Structure 1
Amino acid sequence: MKLSNLMIKRGASTLLSGLSCAFNEGEIVVVLGPNGAGKSSLLLALAGLIPASGDLELHGKTLTGYSRHALTRLIAWQGELPPTEFGLTVKQRLELAAGEEIDAVASTATRMDIGSLLQRPLGELSSGERQRTELAALMLRQTPIWLLDEPTAHLDLKHQIHCINMMKEECKQGRAIVTVLHDIQQAMAVADHLILIDGKGGAEYGEAKQLFASERLTKLFDAPVITQGTVLVPDYGVMK
């Protein structure tokens, strides 16, 4: 997927403009920025779910040239937890996502540590269990591009680590992953490239090793970020 001079507006506000980059197989791009900057809107635009101006191409064809069905076979988007009013069990939710790959439901559930939950209704799950269910559903769709909006949200430490390692494994298999994260150390663990969205209409793309700098992130978040050993961490002792 290639972007050129991408601009996203919501109402009268310009969330970001001038973003040009490419998302390649086997790479993870992490999107960082303050609340309300437009991170989720960027993923929605990449999924073709909201309009954006500029050039957005996939396999040499503009995104708007694809049918909705065709896009869902190429791009998987994971956002907020869906409603549970439909009364589905975990197994039924995964079977819906799996389509013809239904034989992979059990192994994928085991991989995401929800094998014991298959008969449970979604409405009876904790937020963390539902998050793992949605990640398993995403994995079953077998699309080459993943757009993940805070995939570690709601997860305990064990399953945060599990999720980060799962993304690394999928990347090694050739998946292109674009993910919004809030935890800087998680971002440092997986990012090949970064997109920094400043909340003022600006967006910057580059190699992670160049953009991970305490001064840059301090300015981005308007909060102190310091170097501690080999990682960047918030300086909780400075904020009042």
Structure 2
Amino acid sequence: MEPLQTRQLVIDIPGRAKGSPLNLTVEAGQVWGVLGPNGAGKTTLLHTLAGLRPPRGGEVCLGEHSLTALGRRNLARQLGLVFQDRQDGFPATVLETALIGRHPWLSPWQMETGDDVDRARSALQALDVAHLEDRLVSTLSGGERQRVSIATLLTQNPDTWLLDEPTNHLDLHHQVAVMQLLKRQADTGRAIFMCLHDLNLAARWCDHLLLLYPNGDACWGPASQMLVPSALEALYNQKLITVEADGAPVFVPAKR
């Protein structure tokens, strides 16, 4: 797998005069979490890393190749994205939606094979939505749609996974199941890079963290070095109480 790299990357946030250049390398087997308050640029960063939005400065590379030099089909075989919210423009079943993940691997006008269908069904099973395969996506709950989106990415099977709030709309059971699935993907050599609102999910499951501050500043590194109360309190403008549970730190907002 080619590592995902940012070289002096400055994301383009309207109204923000400056931003810290990002020089990150996301390697196979790593689980990155991006933390920051609303408006810090988490989603903008993810869309920039996916090549959907131009940066203000610098570049994004897969290995030694800039994203701008890679064709969309080639890029989609290496990198996939789950949006925070999705719009379903056309009526489609859950299975048909999951099969969209196979499009980068098919030639123009090629129909999906039986193997493609098996991959999609296996992904739906892994996300606990296989029983919904004949349902229209438009009839699903928010949590069911989210799991279908992640199943579509699993069907796509890229080397690098970009996810915007992957636990959005999910109940506790499915939050844990999704985070376990992402960790398993990293253990098989994928790279996981996701934006999270839940600090405790990040503390429990991520081995690297990127902190995005509202003024454009940023810091990043191993999670053990980033989970510092003073840095997190400045990030969220909130006093935190730190305890330990099940071998991981847990952060609780203090009363004001």
User: Does TM, scored on the shorter chain, surpass 0.5?
Assistant: yes
Instruction: Give the unaligned 5+ runs of structure 1.
Output: none
For residue 10 of structure 2, what is the amino acid of its counterpart? M
2:41 counterpart (38, 42, 46): 38
CA offsets 1:26-85 (integer angstroms, 9 cap, x no match): 001110001010011111111011111113221211121112222111110111332234
C-alpha distance 154-15 of structure 1, shift in aligned 2 (>3 A)? farther
Q: Distance in 1 between matches of 2:18 and 2:201?
A: 24
Q: Distance in 2 between matches of 1:190 and 1:14?
A: 33
- The question of whether the paired residues in 2 share the 8 Å contact of 1:214 and 1:232 is answered with no
1:112 corresponds in structure 2 to 127
Root mean square deviation of aligned Cα: 1.5
1:126-145 matched pairs, under 5 angstroms: 126-145=141-160
1:20-169 matched pairs, under 5 angstroms: 20-52=23-55, 53-99=57-103, 101-169=116-184
For residue 149 of structure 1, what is the amino acid of its counterpart? D
C-alpha distance 45-114 of structure 1, shift in aligned 2 (>3 A)? same
1:221 corresponds in structure 2 to 236
TM-score, normalised with respect to structure 1: 0.94
Instruction: Give the unaligned 5+ runs of structure 2.
Output: 104-111
Q: How many residues align?
A: 238
1:196 corresponds in structure 2 to 211
TM-score, normalised with respect to structure 2: 0.89
For residue 84 of structure 2, what is the amino acid of its counterpart? E
- The question of whether the paired residues in 2 share the 8 Å contact of 1:226 and 1:233 is answered with yes
Off by >4 Å, runs of 4+ in structure 1: none
Q: Distance in 2 between matches of 1:46 and 1:82?
A: 18
Task: Please give the secondary structure, in 1, of the residue aligned with 2:59.
Answer: strand
**Greater strand share, 1 or 2?**
1
For residue 70 of structure 1, what is the amino acid of its counterpart? N
- The question of whether the paired residues in 2 share the 8 Å contact of 1:131 and 1:154 is answered with yes
- The question of whether the paired residues in 2 share the 8 Å contact of 1:6 and 1:19 is answered with yes
Q: Distance in 2 between matches of 1:203 and 1:167?
A: 24
1:18 corresponds in structure 2 to 21
Q: Distance in 2 between matches of 1:36 and 1:15?
A: 14
Task: Please give the secondary structure, in 1, of the residue aligned with 2:189.
Answer: coil
- The question of whether the paired residues in 2 share the 8 Å contact of 1:78 and 1:151 is answered with yes
Q: Distance in 1 between matches of 2:75 and 2:141?
A: 31
2:8 corresponds in structure 1 to 5
Q: Distance in 1 between matches of 2:134 and 2:241?
A: 46
Q: Distance in 2 between matches of 1:214 and 1:25?
A: 28
Q: Distance in 2 between matches of 1:77 and 1:126?
A: 20
- The question of whether the paired residues in 1 share the 8 Å contact of 2:16 and 2:215 is answered with no
Q: Distance in 1 between matches of 2:11 and 2:65?
A: 20
Once the 2 structures are TM-superposed, how far is the Cα of residue 232 of structure 1 from its aligned partner? 3.0
